[in-house]
Every structure is written in structure tokens, then in C-alpha cells.
Chains A and B, each alone.
Chain A
Amino acid sequence: MKFNNVGISGWGVYIPKYRISLDEIAKAWGYPSTYPQGLNVVEKAVAGVDEDTITMGFEAARNALRRAGVDPNFIGAVYVGTESKPYAVKPSATVIAEALGITPKKLTADLEFACRAASEALGISIGLVSSGMVKYALVIGSDTAQASPGDVLEFTAASGSAAYVIGRDDGNAAAYFEGFYSYVTDTPDFWRKENAPYPMHGESFTGEPAYFHHIVSAVKGLLEELGLRPSDFDYFVPHQPNGKFPLKVARILGFPKEKVLPGLIVTRIGNTYSASALIGLAAVLEKAKPGSRILVAPYGSGAGADAMSIVVKDSILDKVGKAPTVKDYISRKTYIDYGLYVKFYNKLRRFKF
């Protein structure tokens, strides 16, 4: 869909400070030492014992509001995209909205679509802002991604949040949306059943018919609709389940590696699920010059992908320094070993008399 009146007023991220190296995980489970190299991921971010999707989402939202510089009371909708809600029933979005002091009289909901939920929230927010139903919408992608100990997923399932304030493309906007294209099918590549403690996945089925097919289809659809080519973009930020897939999908679509690397944050923090592509986008916004055109392509298992074209505006330059950057969060780190990691994720429980 093409439109020209909606922009990004502010963005912010939060990445917990704990890191576990993939080598440490490989050692714990007896994987070959070369296994992490194959994923092109060095270490992943781990939420601390006192952090969850809500606390991280709140931090990211606060950073986004700092950059947006708008009166929080004008925010008419708060959406949280996540697949690791602290409560199965009870919204995370209301907790965050309340903590930000912007309740009541808001549209709020948690959305679930694997790693793509926050991207769907962006689509909804663009519609709400574009129609005039709300002045600003706050979109949060936040996850403490879960993986069974020993499963290959455990190498990349990470924690982090990204938040975006979506508003009119006015003088305050840091960037504006040119188009938004979604491509969804019923493709069971990754799922978690009711009462199952961890998700299941279809191994290599998560690649070709899932991640690649959907992202390629969404991007091609958007390019056709906007009459653009890969060479018209300065950056390409696809969803980042590992460090290999984004580079491969770029190759398939004809984007050179140089346009992917600035937003490729998975290598240092792992796959933050609902926040993955959106933290990648934040990293690019914090480097991009006004006039740069960015293609973002989140993907969620189950399956669906979105492609959106975003053009950076002059006011971005004033906003970058108003909150900690992705780079700041990536370099702020404390390494933990596998023992502490399983304790943090409540995988080891102390027996109480």
C-alpha cells in the first residue's frame, strides 16, 4: 500500500546487558565448536532475573518518547508485539501504558504473530494515524525468546525491545513511510502449542518455504507497487533469526552485503524475535543520512513477512543523541556462563522446603 502522510516521530531500543557466548552454549551441550560460526552469531543478549518483556518494552518506549519529543498524552494507541508475554491473559500493553502515565482512553492490545507481531502493529498504527483516528501510536516489539535447553534455537533465542512512535509526516518526523506490503500464508515452520514449555520448529523448513519465500514475496510486492529497485535503497534490514539468513535473502533479492551489514545486529545480540528487524532498523536510523531510503522486512513464523520503505528526513540528526543508541546498548555488556544463564531464565529451580 502506498501513502505519504505517516512518519516515525521517534524510536528507541532496549537490550539487556547480559551476554552469553554461543561457544559457551555449544560447550554445554556438546555441539561441534564450529557450530556457532555456521550461524554467524557470536553472542546473544539475555534478560536479567528482574527483567521481562514488559520491563524491556517500557525502557524502549521511554527512549522512543525521548526521541519523539511529543506530549505522551497525545499517544492514542499502544501496541505490544510479543510471543513471550509475562501473563497468558492480561495485556502487557496496559502495564506499559500505565507506567508511562498515558492511560486511560487509549487503544491498547498485545499482538501475537511470532517475530512479526510488532510489524503488524506498525501497519495498524499507520492506518490509525493516516485516518486521523489517533494523533500518535506507540508500537513496541519486545521478547525474552524461549528455547528448549539443547535445541539449536537456544543458540539464537535472545532478549530485547524496540519501540516506535508513529505520527503524521510533519516537521517533527525523523522519517516517513512510502509503502507497506504484507504477505502471509499458513506455513507451519515454527509453533508452540498450548501448555508446551518451548516452541517447536521444522528445522530446514523454517528456511526456503518459510523465511525466504515470504520475505522475497513481500519485498518483490512492495518494489513492484512503488516502482522501485534494490539499487534505489541505501539499506536493507530483513528479520534476523541468525546471521546467515539475512545475507542470503539479500543475495536472492539483489542487495549487496554492504546494504545489510549496518542493520545486522543479530551477530552481537542474537534473535530478539519481535524486536529483531526493528532493532536493526533503529541501528540504521542512528547512522543514516537524511534522504537515505531504507527497506525493512520483518518476518514471523506461521508465516508472514512485511516490507516497508522508509525515507529518512533532516530532523533525524537532532534525535539520535536524545536516548541511548543501539551501539551504546551493544557495547554495554556483562558475560555470564551457562549456569547463570539457566538460572536467569528460570530453567533451574531451587527446591524449597
Chain B
Amino acid sequence: MRKVYVVGVGLTKIGRHFDKGLRELFAEAALKAIDDTKGVNVEALVVGNMSSSSLCEQDNLGALLADYAGLTGKPAFKVEAACGSGGTAVFTGYSLVASGLFNVVMVGGVEKLTEYPTRTVTSALAQASDAEYELYFGASFTGLNALIMRYYMEKYGVTRSEISEWPVLMHENASRNPYAQLPFKITKERVDKSQIIADPIRLYDASPIGDGAAAIILASEEVARKITDTPVEIAGLGMATDKLYLASRDKLDTFKATVEAAKVAYNMANISPKDVDVAEVHDAFSILGLINLEDLGFVEEKGKTAKLLCEGRFRPGDKPAVNPSGGLKARGHPVGATGVYQVAEVAMQLRGDFPGTKVPEAKVGLAQSIGGVGSTIVVTILKR
């Protein structure tokens, strides 16, 4: 397989884009990414998106968005893996370049959610879970994550107040991120007293509903060397899946698919967790942030992440610095685009030009994208 590099990135600010639809959002990110490469000739497009069918009544996204990104006529694919669509799109785009089929591929992600009332969006997002065994019985996506949070808190004796440290750090990081949906600081008290969404998950544990689009351009080594002095290599990739139906899993306090995907990615990149300088992990809810750091091997003792966080770990300067973007919690979570945001943000950290909270001298970065409640997981490792 050939080496693959990230040579360009483009992001939109995440938020309620009342004046933009799917295509306008995506075009903005795509054109920024092309500009970032000073106009490289993109040969194919892979787009991550979850809900265009259920919310925008739009399928055939590949061709539509290729047209709006100025790639009319080029091969184009839509990749769907619920909230992990973005990471899965990166995996697919990587494969297209690594295989030698294409030299330059744009990987994008886009999601348009804010046209609809919350209950409609919530129903669409819940389709990430098992419709026949979970949703038909009234479970919501937040409700399923709440079961995990409750179980984790009971099993490891973790308190509400300790978990609140996660959103506080995420908002602190996001406060400097110009692309973030919620760029403001919050206090633990504000988290502790916020509205209960699905007990014990509170409002400030949950990522917001927002629109956004991200695009990165992947290129072969030969092309990358020609167009940039700071190419970032995709040094490792791992992907794994698990049963959707939570009740059929062996464990609820860990995602087996993360552990598997990370193992493959670390081996491929020939690194270990302690080599990672910066990580963007999929914290759709506070509890997932804690579990992810454990599954990715950043925390040795299970159940201890919240305590380490309270002791000041995982801030910029620590190894790894976690979610300097603000994470899904505060940067935002435009579902199918999130995984692409993460890889773009890590690439910018390694290039040294991320416009928000910076991780100085970062050489190795990791992005983790999750679809469903830990059922599709892609771990991507980037190196400068």
C-alpha cells in the first residue's frame, strides 16, 4: 500500500446555519480545502453523512455534493455509519489513495440538522441504534448512553461532580476555537444543575445539535511533496464494529470496537498510546469521553479517568492533550461531519496552524470516530 497524506483542510463554523442547506455548507468547506492546497486537481470525493435521507429527503449525495464542490463528473461516494460516518469516510478515502486507484481524494462530511424540531432530529439520530430491539421499545439514543453512564458511575464509584470536569474542560478548550458551536466557558456548578435529559445525563453532558461541514484532501506521497511543505501522514488506521443491541454486549463500561480499532491503528503506525501528543475523541456525552480515554490506552486503570481529569490531566501540554477543539461537547457534533473535523483538527495541530487551543510541538495525533453506542469505530493516527 502507498503512503497517504493530508494536504488540505477546510471547515465551516458549526452552528445553526439557517441560511445554508446541505449543499451550501459542503461547498464552503470543500472550496476552503481546495484553496488550502492552492488548487490541487481532486480526482474523487467521499462524503460522510448520516441523516440526509431521514431529515433532508436527499439521497445520491455523492453526485450532488461533487457538483457543488466543483468536482462535477468525478467519482463520488456517500459513506454512512451513523455518527461515525466521518471517520468511516476518512477510512474509505484513505483506501482509495493507498490502493493506487486515485492520487488525490477529497474526504468530506456534512450534516444539516437544525431545520427540524428537536424531537424529529432526536428520532433521526436514534436510528444509530437497533431499531427492532431498542428503538421500538421507546429507548432514545441519550437514554441508552444514560444506561452506560449510570452503570459506569455505580461500578467505579465515580461522582456526578467528577464527571462534570469533562464538559468544563471541553468548553474551556472550545472558547478559543473559531469553528466551535459553543465557544464559552462553563462551571462545574452549571453542569451539575443543568436540566436532566435522561438521568443521569444532563444538558451540559450532551453534545449540541448543529449544522456543519468539513473537508480534507488526501494525496499520495508524490503529489503531497509537490504541493506542501507540511504534509501530515495518515500513519495508521483501524476500524472495528460491535453488536448494535446493547443488551447483547459482554460489557457496557468499555467499547470493544475502540480497543480493537486502536490496536490495529497503533500497530500500523508502529506507536503506543504514550506516543500520542494530541487526541480528538468522540465525546457525544461526557461519559463517552471517559470511556474512550480508557479504551484508547491513555488511562491505565479502568474507572480512573475522571479522577485524573480533576487532577489536571489531558490539558494542552499534557500527553495526550485531549480534544483541544472542545470535542463534540463544545466544538459541536454535526454528526456525519464530526469525524472529518477531528482529522482536520489533528492535522492542523501537527502542522502548527490550528486556530484554537494549540498543542505545541505535537508530532503524533489520534482521532476516534464512533457510530452508534460504540458499534462502529474508526481510529486514525496522524504523524508529522
Contact = CB atoms under 8 A, between A and B. Distances in A.
B18 A208 contact: yes
A34 B16 contact: no
Interface in A76-130: none
B16 A203 contact: no
A205 B18 CA distance: 8
Contacts of B118: 203
B157 interface: no
A32 B196 contact: yes
A182 B114 CA distance: 28
Interface in A196-225: 202-205, 208-209
B195 A32 contact: yes
A32 B114 CA distance: 24
A208 B19 CA distance: 12
B193 A34 contact: yes
Contact of B117 (A203, A208, A209): A203
A205 B114 contact: yes
Contacts of A34: 193, 195
Interface residues of A, number: 9
A34 B190 CA distance: 12
A204 B195 contact: no
Contacts of A208: 16, 18
Interface in B90-133: 114, 117-118
* A interface SS class: helix
A323 to B, nearest CB: 42
Interface residues on B, range: under 10
Nearest to B203: A32
B138 to A, nearest CB: 16
Contacts of A203: 117-118
A138 B195 CA distance: 46
Interface string A290-327: 00000000000000000000000000000000000000
Interface string B1-25: 0000000000000001011000000
Most chain A C-beta atoms within 10 Å of own C-beta, residue among B18, B114, B117: B18
Interface in A245-288: none
A202 B196 contact: no
Nearest to A200: B117
A32 B203 CA distance: 12
A34 B189 CA distance: 14
Interface in B176-193: 193
B346 to A, nearest CB: 31
Given A202-B117, A203-B118, A209 B195 contact: no
Interface string B259-271: 0000000000000
Contacts of B16: 204-205, 208
A202 B114 CA distance: 9
Nearest to A32: B195
A35 B19 CA distance: 30
Given A208-B16, A208-B18, 14 more contacts: A32-B195, A32-B196, A34-B193, A34-B195, A35-B195, A202-B117, A203-B117, A203-B118, A204-B16, A204-B114, A205-B16, A205-B114, A209-B18, A209-B19
